[in-house]
Structure 1
Amino acid sequence: MSVIQIRRAHSGDDRRVSPIFLGIVAVMVVSGWAVWTGFASDTRFALFLFVVAGWVVSLCLHEYAHARTALHSGDTSIGEKGYLTLNPLKYTHALLSIVLPVFFLLMGGIGLPGGAVFIERHRIRGRVKHSLISAAGPLTNVLFALILMIPFAAGSTDSWPIEFQSALAFLAMLQVTSALLNFLPVPGLDGYGVIEPWLSYEVKRQVAPFAPFGLLAVFGVLYIRSVNEKFFELIYTIMGWFGVNSLLVAKGDWLFRFWQR
């Protein structure tokens, strides 16, 4: 095999969808089917698996969007790191990318964003490209949310099982919250990454020490009751535009917490 062929083989491996990701998708599909048909003896547990698997799938797609945009912007090292395989175990910070968001989901039913893939920013030229790389992740959550909510907007869900409607509504809420929170201009979140290339060196130097604590700070602020109420009022308003009833979201949240009987 020639050097060129070897490189192409490696390139193919770098882009081949991971069996781990496919397994997570399979869990989402099977558990979703169980919720729809009522096949599972415990519908609440099936709904729990559907929501968690769907949430992890969205996290993988979020990080993939960052990586893919970085690749086309000039960071050719992305493939070597395994980010294009959608394997959550390949992320630089699996704890932040997967474990922490799932933990926040279990604790508070909030779709807090994770991170991150390591992008070699010095390979990328142009502030617009840097901003697009940061925006690509939360835009994926926006797209995911739209896919989940369009059936409600079209009135297609009226005849669907109420448990499945609730599961979709709750999962959609997680996507909307993740997108909104991630677009906040807070150090450590993608919203700050969008504006960072346009800031002066002095501002970026002063803000840098706070980046590791941005996500935790957002989580802490959301625990303030008045802030939490206003935030979810905005979330339900947005979802209402697509015909998603807040009562469905609440039911999905209740069914999701199968351990609270």
Structure 2
Amino acid sequence: MGPTGYVAIGDSQTEGVGDPDGSGGWRGFADRLAEQLAGLTPDLHYANLAVRGRFARQVRDEQLDVALALRPALVTVVAGMNDLVRPSFSATEVGACLDDMFAELTASGARVATLTFPDLSQLTPILRPLRHRVLDLNASIRTSAARHGVALVDTFGYSVITDSRLWCPDRLHANPVGHARIAAAFAQALGLPGSDDSWSRPLPAGERRTVVSRVADDLGWLARFVGPWVYRRVRGRSSGDHRVAKRPTPIPVIPPTTEPA
């Protein structure tokens, strides 16, 4: 696959937040995808440049040139979630940043893959005001992906993607089950041998929750996650402050012998 087989750029989802690796760090869909690729290309080298809290503009400005310098055969680009929840969000500006990355990466000869965002209002009614933002950004992503020949994982509209059993308690990061589904979706979009559409199939029916339990859960979520998030933003801080990429140098991929819990 070339000097560097696979480079992942983006924010916390690509970093792997929500999917423990069993050693105190994060695994995530990109690591999982790299492991699948390594099964097809044993000498695969993989770098992950993602840093949590980054906006699409920051991913473009801080990670794109580094990725290009590595001359990857494959790049996944996932950015925009941090922009979606900001008051100053502009689908046009975020879409332009993503389009810039798609253009430069595909022009370099790399295969590029990305995804659209799910309907966040299905995770919690409190996020319903963000639905039109998601629709606008997804439309931009689809247009850019088609323009540049980018492989697209279109998550919007699949009920399983907003099943709470795929998400961490913060409702913004996928859990291990969710990251595994995202990796499988990318594998299908890239046409990897053995991939299929099983990632999009619903989970078995779960226990029905009462209105009281859902309201209590929403209130707990507001206190535990939304409050601290707002506090950080008021102070001009980010979860990604002083953090660096977890895998800045391409190194061989060693698949785990067992699945982390």
User: Which one has a bigger Cα radius of gyration?
Assistant: 1
TM norm. shorter chain > 0.5: no
Q: Give the structure with the higher percent helix.
A: 1
Q: TM-score, normalised by structure 2?
A: 0.27
Q: TM-score, normalised by structure 1?
A: 0.27
Q: Give the structure with the higher percent strand.
A: 2
- Could you say which structure has the greater relative contact order, defined with CA pairs below 8 angstroms and 6 or more residues apart? 2
